[in-house]
Homo-oligomer: A and B are copies of this chain.
Protein backbone atom coordinates (compact mmCIF):
# COMPACT_ATOMS: atom_id res chain seq x y z
CA UNK A 1 0.00 0.00 0.00
CA UNK A 2 1.44 3.31 -1.16
CA UNK A 3 1.31 5.98 1.59
CA UNK A 4 -1.10 8.85 0.84
CA UNK A 5 0.15 12.35 0.12
CA UNK A 6 0.01 15.23 2.58
CA UNK A 7 -1.21 18.24 0.61
CA UNK A 8 -1.05 21.79 1.92
CA UNK A 9 -3.51 24.08 0.13
CA UNK A 10 -3.40 27.82 0.74
CA UNK A 11 -5.15 30.73 -0.90
CA UNK A 12 -5.90 34.36 -0.18
CA UNK A 13 -9.36 34.92 1.28
CA UNK A 14 -11.85 34.94 -1.60
CA UNK A 15 -9.58 32.66 -3.63
CA UNK A 16 -12.41 30.16 -3.98
CA UNK A 17 -10.63 27.46 -1.96
CA UNK A 18 -13.86 26.10 -0.48
CA UNK A 19 -15.58 25.43 -3.81
CA UNK A 20 -12.50 23.81 -5.27
CA UNK A 21 -11.87 21.53 -2.29
CA UNK A 22 -15.53 20.46 -2.34
CA UNK A 23 -15.35 19.56 -6.02
CA UNK A 24 -11.98 17.82 -5.59
CA UNK A 25 -13.36 15.65 -2.76
CA UNK A 26 -16.53 14.85 -4.73
CA UNK A 27 -14.47 13.61 -7.68
CA UNK A 28 -11.78 11.70 -5.77
CA UNK A 29 -12.76 9.12 -3.22
CA UNK A 30 -9.11 8.71 -2.30
CA UNK A 31 -8.74 12.30 -1.08
CA UNK A 32 -9.94 13.60 2.31
CA UNK A 33 -9.95 16.98 3.98
CA UNK A 34 -8.24 17.24 7.35
CA UNK A 35 -10.50 18.48 10.15
CA UNK A 36 -8.96 21.20 12.35
CA UNK A 37 -9.15 21.31 16.11
CA UNK A 38 -10.24 24.51 17.84
CA UNK A 39 -10.90 25.85 21.30
CA UNK A 40 -13.61 28.22 20.11
CA UNK A 41 -17.25 27.37 20.82
CA UNK A 42 -19.26 25.58 18.10
CA UNK A 43 -21.54 27.83 16.04
CA UNK A 44 -25.10 26.73 15.27
CA UNK A 45 -25.02 23.81 12.82
CA UNK A 46 -21.35 22.98 13.38
CA UNK A 47 -20.71 19.34 14.22
CA UNK A 48 -17.81 17.97 16.23
CA UNK A 49 -15.49 15.90 14.01
CA UNK A 50 -17.06 17.29 10.83
CA UNK A 51 -16.47 21.05 10.81
CA UNK A 52 -13.97 21.06 13.67
CA UNK A 53 -12.80 18.96 16.55
CA UNK A 54 -14.02 21.12 19.44
CA UNK A 55 -11.75 20.89 22.42
CA UNK A 56 -10.72 22.70 25.59
CA UNK A 57 -7.72 24.95 25.86
CA UNK A 58 -6.18 22.53 28.34
CA UNK A 59 -6.52 19.52 26.02
CA UNK A 60 -5.29 21.56 23.07
CA UNK A 61 -2.15 22.68 24.92
CA UNK A 62 -1.52 19.10 26.08
CA UNK A 63 -1.73 17.92 22.46
CA UNK A 64 0.81 20.54 21.36
CA UNK A 65 3.07 19.48 24.25
CA UNK A 66 2.98 15.80 23.21
CA UNK A 67 3.70 16.56 19.53
CA UNK A 68 0.13 15.78 18.55
CA UNK A 69 -0.40 18.93 16.45
CA UNK A 70 1.10 19.31 12.98
CA UNK A 71 0.67 23.08 13.23
CA UNK A 72 -1.28 25.53 15.33
CA UNK A 73 -2.03 29.23 15.62
CA UNK A 74 -4.02 31.59 17.83
CA UNK A 75 -6.68 33.98 16.47
CA UNK A 76 -8.58 36.42 18.65
CA UNK A 77 -8.07 34.34 21.76
CA UNK A 78 -8.88 30.94 20.24
CA UNK A 79 -6.46 28.17 19.30
CA UNK A 80 -6.71 26.41 15.94
CA UNK A 81 -4.60 23.48 14.79
CA UNK A 82 -4.19 20.29 12.76
CA UNK A 83 -4.27 17.08 14.83
CA UNK A 84 -1.57 14.70 13.61
CA UNK A 85 -3.18 11.31 14.38
CA UNK A 86 -6.05 11.30 11.85
CA UNK A 87 -3.73 12.64 9.13
CA UNK A 88 -1.25 9.82 9.78
CA UNK A 89 -3.98 7.17 9.85
CA UNK A 90 -5.46 8.25 6.53
CA UNK A 91 -2.05 8.47 4.87
CA UNK A 92 -1.13 4.98 6.10
CA UNK A 93 -4.36 3.78 4.49
CA UNK A 94 -3.20 5.24 1.17
CA UNK A 95 -5.50 8.26 1.33
CA UNK A 96 -4.30 11.71 0.29
CA UNK A 97 -5.02 14.30 2.98
CA UNK A 98 -5.65 17.96 2.17
CA UNK A 99 -4.86 20.63 4.75
CA UNK A 100 -6.69 23.86 3.99
CA UNK A 101 -4.40 26.25 5.75
CA UNK A 102 -3.03 29.79 5.73
CA UNK A 103 0.52 30.76 4.87
CA UNK A 104 1.96 30.64 8.43
CA UNK A 105 0.49 27.18 9.06
CA UNK A 106 1.76 25.98 5.69
CA UNK A 107 5.29 26.93 6.71
CA UNK A 108 4.98 24.97 9.99
CA UNK A 109 3.80 21.87 8.09
CA UNK A 110 6.72 22.06 5.65
CA UNK A 111 9.18 22.06 8.54
CA UNK A 112 7.68 18.99 10.30
CA UNK A 113 6.63 17.13 7.12
CA UNK A 114 9.10 18.03 4.36
CA UNK A 115 7.53 15.42 2.05
CA UNK A 116 4.27 17.39 1.94
CA UNK A 117 3.07 18.79 -1.38
CA UNK A 118 2.19 22.47 -1.19
CA UNK A 119 -0.18 24.22 -3.57
CA UNK A 120 -1.03 27.91 -3.64
CA UNK A 121 -4.32 28.81 -5.24
CA UNK A 122 -4.29 32.22 -6.93
CA UNK A 123 -7.15 34.33 -8.25
CA UNK A 124 -6.77 35.12 -11.98
CA UNK A 125 -6.36 38.83 -11.17
CA UNK A 126 -6.95 41.34 -8.38
CA UNK A 127 -10.03 42.85 -10.06
CA UNK A 128 -11.54 39.35 -10.34
CA UNK A 129 -10.74 38.70 -6.68
CA UNK A 130 -12.39 42.01 -5.74
CA UNK A 131 -15.46 41.07 -7.77
CA UNK A 132 -15.64 37.69 -6.04
CA UNK A 133 -15.27 39.22 -2.58
CA UNK A 134 -17.94 41.81 -3.36
CA UNK A 135 -20.11 39.25 -5.17
CA UNK A 136 -20.83 37.49 -1.93
CA UNK A 137 -22.84 40.56 -1.08
CA UNK A 138 -22.47 39.78 2.59
CA UNK A 139 -19.44 41.88 3.44
CA UNK A 140 -19.28 45.61 4.09
CA UNK A 141 -17.01 47.54 1.74
CA UNK A 142 -14.45 48.03 4.50
CA UNK A 143 -14.05 44.23 4.88
CA UNK A 144 -13.69 43.79 1.11
CA UNK A 145 -10.89 46.37 1.03
CA UNK A 146 -9.19 44.77 4.05
CA UNK A 147 -9.28 41.33 2.41
CA UNK A 148 -7.93 42.71 -0.86
CA UNK A 149 -5.03 44.28 0.99
CA UNK A 150 -4.39 41.01 2.84
CA UNK A 151 -4.49 39.08 -0.47
CA UNK A 152 -1.95 41.44 -1.99
CA UNK A 153 0.36 40.65 0.91
CA UNK A 154 -0.28 36.89 0.75
CA UNK A 155 0.13 36.39 -3.02
CA UNK A 156 3.96 36.78 -3.05
CA UNK A 157 4.13 33.81 -0.63
CA UNK A 158 3.02 31.62 -3.55
CA UNK A 159 6.75 31.48 -4.38
CA UNK A 160 7.37 29.35 -1.26
CA UNK A 161 4.90 26.70 -2.43
CA UNK A 162 5.69 23.77 -4.72
CA UNK A 163 2.89 24.54 -7.16
CA UNK A 164 0.77 27.50 -8.23
CA UNK A 165 -2.76 26.90 -9.52
CA UNK A 166 -4.70 29.82 -10.93
CA UNK A 167 -8.38 29.61 -10.09
CA UNK A 168 -9.78 30.69 -13.42
CA UNK A 169 -12.57 28.13 -13.63
CA UNK A 170 -13.34 25.54 -10.93
CA UNK A 171 -13.14 22.72 -13.50
CA UNK A 172 -9.66 23.65 -14.70
CA UNK A 173 -8.32 24.33 -11.20
CA UNK A 174 -9.58 20.95 -9.95
CA UNK A 175 -8.08 19.16 -12.96
CA UNK A 176 -4.78 20.90 -12.34
CA UNK A 177 -4.75 19.79 -8.70
CA UNK A 178 -5.63 16.24 -9.79
CA UNK A 179 -2.68 16.27 -12.19
CA UNK A 180 -0.39 17.48 -9.41
CA UNK A 181 -1.51 14.66 -7.08
CA UNK A 182 -1.15 12.08 -9.85
CA UNK A 183 2.33 13.32 -10.81
CA UNK A 184 3.47 13.47 -7.18
CA UNK A 185 2.54 9.80 -6.73
CA UNK A 186 4.86 9.04 -9.68
CA UNK A 187 7.90 10.82 -8.18
CA UNK A 188 10.83 8.41 -8.17
CA UNK A 189 11.46 9.19 -4.48
CA UNK A 190 8.12 7.47 -3.89
CA UNK A 191 8.88 4.64 -6.35
CA UNK A 192 11.42 2.54 -4.44
CA UNK A 193 8.87 -0.23 -3.88
CA UNK A 194 7.97 -0.27 -7.57
CA UNK A 195 11.60 -0.74 -8.60
CA UNK A 196 12.07 -3.53 -6.02
CA UNK A 197 8.89 -5.27 -7.11
CA UNK A 198 9.89 -5.28 -10.78
CA UNK A 199 13.47 -6.42 -10.14
CA UNK A 200 12.25 -9.36 -8.04
CA UNK A 201 9.41 -10.23 -10.41
CA UNK A 202 10.95 -13.28 -12.05
A104 to chain B, nearest CB (A): 18
Q: Is the CB of B191 within 8 A of A158?
A: yes
Contact of A201 among B126, B186, B195, B202 (CB under 8 A): B126
Q: Give the interface size class of chain A.
A: 35 or more
- The answer to whether A161 and B188 touch (CB under 8 A), given A125-B198, A201-B126, is yes
Task: Tell me whether A60 is interfacial, beta carbon within 8 Å.
Answer: no
Interface flag for A199 (CB, 8 Å): yes
Which residues of A129-172 have CB atoms within 8 Å of chain B's CB atoms? Answer: 130, 152, 155-156, 158-166
Q: A176-B182, A179-B179, A201-B125 in contact; A156/B188 too (CB < 8 A)? A: no
Q: Does A127 contact B (CB under 8 A)?
A: yes
Q: What residues on B are CB-neighbors of A125 within 8 Å? A: 197-198, 201-202
Q: Does A112 count as interface, using CB distance less than 8 angstroms?
A: no
Tally of this chain's copies: 2
Of B122, B127, B162, B184, which is within 8 A of A202 by CB? B127
- Asked if residues B156 and A195 are in contact (CB atoms below 8 Å), the reply is yes
Q: State whether B163 touches A183 (Cβ < 8 A).
A: yes
Q: Are A199 and B159 in contact (CB under 8 A)?
A: no
Contact with B along A180-195 (1 / 0, CB 8 A): 1011101110011011
Q: Which of B176, B186, B192, B201 is within 8 Å of A127, CB to CB?
A: B201
**Is the CB–CB distance between B123 and A198 below 8 Å?**
yes
Known: A125-B198, A152-B199, A163-B187. 8 other contacts (CB 8 A): A120-B188, A155-B199, A165-B186, A166-B194, A179-B179, A179-B183, A180-B182, A182-B183
Q: What are 18 A-B interface contacts by the 8 Å CB criterion?
A: A122-B194, A126-B198, A126-B202, A127-B201, A152-B199, A155-B198, A158-B191, A159-B188, A161-B188, A163-B187, A164-B187, A164-B191, A164-B194, A166-B198, A176-B182, A179-B183, A180-B186, A183-B183
